[in-house]
Amino acid sequence: MLEKEIAKRRTFGIISHPDAGKTTLTEKLLLFGGAIQEAGAVKSNKIKKGATSDFMEIERQRGISVATSVLAFIYKDKKINILDTPGHKDFAEDTFRTLTAVDSVIVVIDVAKGVEEQTEKLVQVCRMRNIPMIVFINKLDREGKDAFDLLDEVEQKLGLTVTPLSFPIGMGFDFKGIYNIWEKNINLFSGDNKKNIEETIAFDNIEDQKLDKIIGENAARDLRENLELVYEVYPDFNQGEYLNGNLQPVFFGSALNNFGVRELLDCFIDIAPAPRPKKAEEREIKPNEKDFAGFVFKIHANMDPKHRDRLAFIKIVSGTFERNKPYLHVRHNKKLKFSSPNAFFAEKKEIVDISYAGDIVGLHDTGNFKIGDTLTEGEILNFKGIPSFSPEHFRYINNADPLKAKQLAKGIDQLMDEGVAQLFTLELNGRKVIGTVGALQYEVIQYRLEHEYGAKCTYENFPVYKACWVEASDPKNEEFAEFKRVKQKYLAKDKQGQLVFLADSSFSIEMAKQKYPSVRLHYVSEFN
| Residue 172, H or E segment | none
Specify the 3-state DSSP secondary structure of 272.
coil
Query: Is 34 assigned a ligand-binding role in the annotation?
Result: no
Q: Between residues 100 and 257, which has the closer beta carbon with respect to ligand GDP?
A: 257
Q: How far apart are CA 301 and CA 73, in angstroms?
A: 25
| C-beta separation of 103 from 11 below 8 A | yes
Q: Draw the binding track, 464-503, toward ligand GDP (x: CB under 6 A; -: no contact).
A: ----------------------------------------
If one asks whether residue 28 binds ligand GDP (CB under 6 A), the answer comes out as no
Query: Which residue in 24, 65, 68, 69 binds ligand GDP (CB under 6 A)?
Result: 24
Count CB neighbours of 513 within 10 A. Answer: 13
Q: Name beta bridge partners: 55.
A: none
Instruction: Give which of 103, 43, 95, 64 is closest to 315, Cα–Cα.
Output: 103
**Of 252-260, 273-281, 347-355, 499-507, which part binds ligand GDP (CB under 6 A)?**
252-260
Nearest approach in angstroms of CB 257 to ligand GDP is 6
The phi, psi pair for 93, rounded to 5°, reads: -65, -35
Query: Is 353 assigned a ligand-binding role in the annotation?
Result: no
Nearest approach in angstroms of CB 201 to ligand GDP is 22
Q: Name beta bridge partners: 422.
A: 435
Nearest approach in angstroms of CB 108 to ligand GDP is 6
Query: Is 140 assigned a ligand-binding role in the annotation?
Result: yes
Q: Between residues 16 and 163, which has the closer beta carbon with respect to ligand GDP?
A: 16
Nearest approach in angstroms of CB 137 to ligand GDP is 10
Q: How many residues bind ligand GDP (CB under 6 A)?
A: 19
| Residue 478, H or E segment | helix 478-486
Q: How far apart are CA 421 and CA 426, in angstroms?
A: 16
DSSP class of residue 254? Answer: B
| C-beta separation of 372 from 295 below 8 A | yes
The per-residue b/e assignment along 127-165, b for 16 or more CB within 10 angstroms, e otherwise, is beeebbbbbbbbbbbeebbebeebbeebeeebebebbbb
Nearest approach in angstroms of CB 191 to ligand GDP is 11
If one asks whether residue 19 binds ligand GDP (CB under 6 A), the answer comes out as yes
**Of 11-19, 284-292, 333-341, 455-463, which part binds ligand GDP (CB under 6 A)?**
11-19
Query: Is 195 assigned a ligand-binding role in the annotation?
Result: no
Query: Which residue in 8, 46, 121, 323 binds ligand GDP (CB under 6 A)?
Result: 46
Nearest approach in angstroms of CB 335 to ligand GDP is 41
Query: Is 88 assigned a ligand-binding role in the annotation?
Result: yes
Q: How far apart are CA 157 and CA 116, in angstroms?
A: 9
Nearest approach in angstroms of CB 19 to ligand GDP is 4
| C-beta separation of 516 from 482 below 8 A | yes
| C-beta separation of 180 from 186 below 8 A | yes
Query: Is 402 assigned a ligand-binding role in the annotation?
Result: no
Q: Between residues 75 and 259, which has the closer beta carbon with respect to ligand GDP?
A: 259
If one asks whether residue 138 binds ligand GDP (CB under 6 A), the answer comes out as yes
Q: How far apart are CA 296 and CA 289, in angstroms?
A: 19
Query: Is 139 assigned a ligand-binding role in the annotation?
Result: yes
If one asks whether residue 62 binds ligand GDP (CB under 6 A), the answer comes out as no
Q: Draw the binding track, 141-180, toward ligand GDP (x: CB under 6 A; -: no contact).
A: xx--------------------------------------
Query: Which residue in 6, 15, 20, 314 binds ligand GDP (CB under 6 A)?
Result: 20
How far does CA 278 lie from the centroid of its chain? 17
Q: How many CA atoms lie within 13 A of 490 on its CB side?
A: 20
Q: Name beta bridge partners: 372.
A: none
Q: Between residues 118 and 342, which has the closer beta carbon with respect to ligand GDP?
A: 118
Instruction: Give CA torsion, residues 43, 47, 52, 58, to 10 deg.
Output: 90
| C-beta separation of 148 from 225 below 8 A | no
Query: Which residue in 9, 11, 15, 22 binds ligand GDP (CB under 6 A)?
Result: 22
Q: How far apart are CA 373 and CA 381, in angstroms?
A: 10
Query: Is 458 assigned a ligand-binding role in the annotation?
Result: no
Compute the chain's Rg from CA coordinates. Answer: 25
Nearest approach in angstroms of CB 123 to ligand GDP is 15
Q: Draw the binding track, 194-233, toward ligand GDP (x: CB under 6 A; -: no contact).
A: ----------------------------------------
Query: Which residue in 6, 9, 15, 21 binds ligand GDP (CB under 6 A)?
Result: 21
Q: Draw the binding track, 63-102, toward ligand GDP (x: CB under 6 A; -: no contact).
A: ------------------------x---------------
Where helices occur in 75-216 by DSSP H, the ranges are 92-98, 117-128, 147-158, 210-215
DSSP class of residue 428? Answer: T
Specify the 3-state DSSP secondary structure of 155.
helix
Nearest approach in angstroms of CB 435 to ligand GDP is 26
Q: Draw the binding track, 253-292, toward ligand GDP (x: CB under 6 A; -: no contact).
A: -xxxx-----------------------------------
Residue ranges binding ligand GDP (CB under 6 A): 16, 18-24, 44, 46, 87, 138-139, 141-142, 254-257
